[in-house]
Structure 1
């Protein structure tokens, strides 16, 4: 994992892969003219179903053919973009012969993004078990992956119809759970026992040196559930590799109205033009995207007092401010008017004042930013 920042801009090669994916979609998932004309409305309807009307959504909605086209042509590519940005900034040196389990895999989103964004892994013999309760989605994803990676790829993919906590036959070097936790019920008193059950399932299915990567959509609900999962993971001897720079209590657990939650916003620089055009047709244009995630192992990352920037910069006292996470809790990085703020996800080697002050509004510890303190 780069010590400098998460979510680096896409490489030219990664941009080209995402651009090529538009043509692959047309080959693998062709649409009749009338369905292509209807697509923008289907995308808009599905967007409401995934957000404002999510309580009315069927639990197995991805098993229905009418949802696959908008998902594959719009939501999948944007998730590939998000995960490509994330995977580019994480240490993901998966060893040759490794076992990778993708729970709630859908159309193999995480596997496609991994192939696109980490070219050094393409020649390794990796074994993927992709589990989901919607076989149609899995099969569509498998066809897309075969078209993207080619028939000669050494990656071996097994698709399994399974519920979230169904048994994983082989212990994993890496377990990925991407955009799947939010499908479960996290209301009220259910949250804590749910996190406990999921944690036990994931940790017992991971090798001693294995890792667990949880990825979600960057909204308050997912901030809360990842904070809950972080607490339970640490109680079961799994510690954060990223984004957390410490192992103390999460200072952004999304508890209470208006409370901060850990998530990252970043630009859509490098997103394919065909996807931006389709987004415009559906009136869902994007200037930026967001996600939150949790990457863990039994050893975790070395705790050396780093500070991780979280929020986008905002105006503050004639300069700029930016919320961050540190072992002192919620932190507010202060920039003077002449200093360019950092990007969300960057690491700071802090130069703390002898007696740090506290922001009256947010109760965050104040950290004046000095350029020489970065790495």
Structure 2
């Protein structure tokens, strides 16, 4: 996937006057803190320079994860959302992603860190439509949620909280949701466990799963596996320098849950792995309402084969 030109230009603009050595140092500090302190409730990115380094190294991946999760969800929703609450917005990655898919009448970015909000506003000022987004300073746990919205998104927010805080935060965001709540977390065993806890909580409070699960039953994966997906995003030259890597892209692994208030027609199945393609045959690992299925689709099944050729990891799949 491509990162929008306006976002790429905005990130280049805010880094243009900073020294490379300082950006590299700040990026390393962020990486160390996320490895050591996620889930403790501590504030992980606070200084303006760290926020700028975060924008370079994390915004593209977060944008890609939210875009992929939201696209797979919107495929199942009959009425598109017209208002957005980006909760724990950071520098606004989820708002950028949503803007790429929807025509929004209102956008609210709710963020506790002043430095994050400041950089987020600067980035969005490069976009005529996104510059209209409203930024509200506040904490999901301690503040009143400022608005209700058709679509509420929290991306990479709850991995910074402990279990009790997550429960409080999720219920507050669900109360602010008119149509659809989307939660995106790291595609790790820990991130998946958080998503499963969030899934259970929302089902207990009247939610209906839209994606990725094609059912509301218990997850059929065994304890050695976890449900996650992946998106590939390009790296800029500066991104590669800050990550000390030469690869022109990075693969972002993520887990997510999308919950709606009203009934909807779910996908028949969800593809859990990259399709395995052989001559005249495609093998898919599917999650279905009756459990996990490995299916081999041949050219004889013309309609399913055409669908499978276009399908990828994480896509919904119509297969009875």
TM range (shorter): 0.7 to 0.9
Would you say the 8 A contact 2:287–2:293 is kept in 1?
yes
**CA distance 1:68–1:282, shift in 2 (3 Å):** farther
1:100-119 alignment, distance < 5 Å: 100-115=84-99, 117-118=100-101
Identify which of 41, 52, 55 aligns with 1:69: 52
Q: Which residue of 2 aligns with 1:242?
A: 211
Question: CA separation in 2, counterparts of 1:30 and 1:57?
Answer: 34
Q: Which residue of 1 aligns with 2:201?
A: 232
Question: CA separation in 1, counterparts of 2:4 and 2:16?
Answer: 18
**CA distance 1:56–1:179, shift in 2 (3 Å):** closer
**CA distance 1:204–1:80, shift in 2 (3 Å):** closer
Identify which of 112, 131, 134 aligns with 2:110: 131
Describe the SS at the equivalent of 1:61: coil
Q: Which residue of 1 aligns with 2:9?
A: 23
Question: CA separation in 2, counterparts of 1:45 and 1:314?
Answer: 39
Question: CA separation in 2, counterparts of 1:276 and 1:73?
Answer: 6
1:267-346 alignment, distance < 5 Å: 267-268=232-233, 271=234, 273-274=236-237, 277-278=240-241, 281-282=244-245, 286-303=249-266, 306-313=268-275, 322-334=284-296, 342-346=311-315
Would you say the 8 A contact 1:265–1:311 is kept in 2?
no
**Which stretch shifts more, 198-207 or 137-146?**
198-207
Q: Which residue of 2 aligns with 1:174?
A: 151
Identify which of 173, 184, 196 aligns with 1:202: 173
Return 5+ residue gaps in structure 1 as ranges.
1-9, 352-375
Alignment of 1:59 with 2:42, yes or no, is: yes
Question: CA separation in 1, counterparts of 2:198 and 2:261?
Answer: 14
Q: State the shift of 1:180 in Å.
A: 0.2
Q: Which residue of 2 aligns with 1:360?
A: none
Q: State the shift of 1:280 in Å.
A: 6.0
Question: CA separation in 2, counterparts of 1:335 and 1:275?
Answer: 43
Would you say the 8 A contact 2:270–2:288 is kept in 1?
yes
Q: State the shift of 1:282 in Å.
A: 4.6
Per-residue CA deviations over 1:312-342 (Å, capped at 9, x if unaligned) read: 34699xx975533111123334468x98774
Per-residue CA deviations over 1:194-247 (Å, capped at 9, x if unaligned) read: 55434432222223xx21111112111111111111111111111111111111
Question: CA separation in 2, counterparts of 1:78 and 1:27?
Answer: 19
- TM-score (ref. length: structure 1): 0.70
Q: Which residue of 2 aligns with 1:262?
A: 227
Q: Which residue of 1 aligns with 2:81?
A: 94
Q: Over aligned residues, Cα RMSD in angstroms?
A: 3.3
**CA distance 1:73–1:57, shift in 2 (3 Å):** farther
**Which stretch shifts more, 53-62 or 293-302?**
53-62
**CA distance 1:24–1:349, shift in 2 (3 Å):** closer
Identify which of 194, 199, 223 aligns with 2:192: 223
* Rg larger in structure: 1
- TM-score (ref. length: structure 2): 0.81
Would you say the 8 A contact 1:104–1:164 is kept in 2?
no
Describe the SS at the equivalent of 1:345: coil
Would you say the 8 A contact 2:180–2:258 is kept in 1?
yes
Q: Which residue of 2 aligns with 1:40?
A: 24
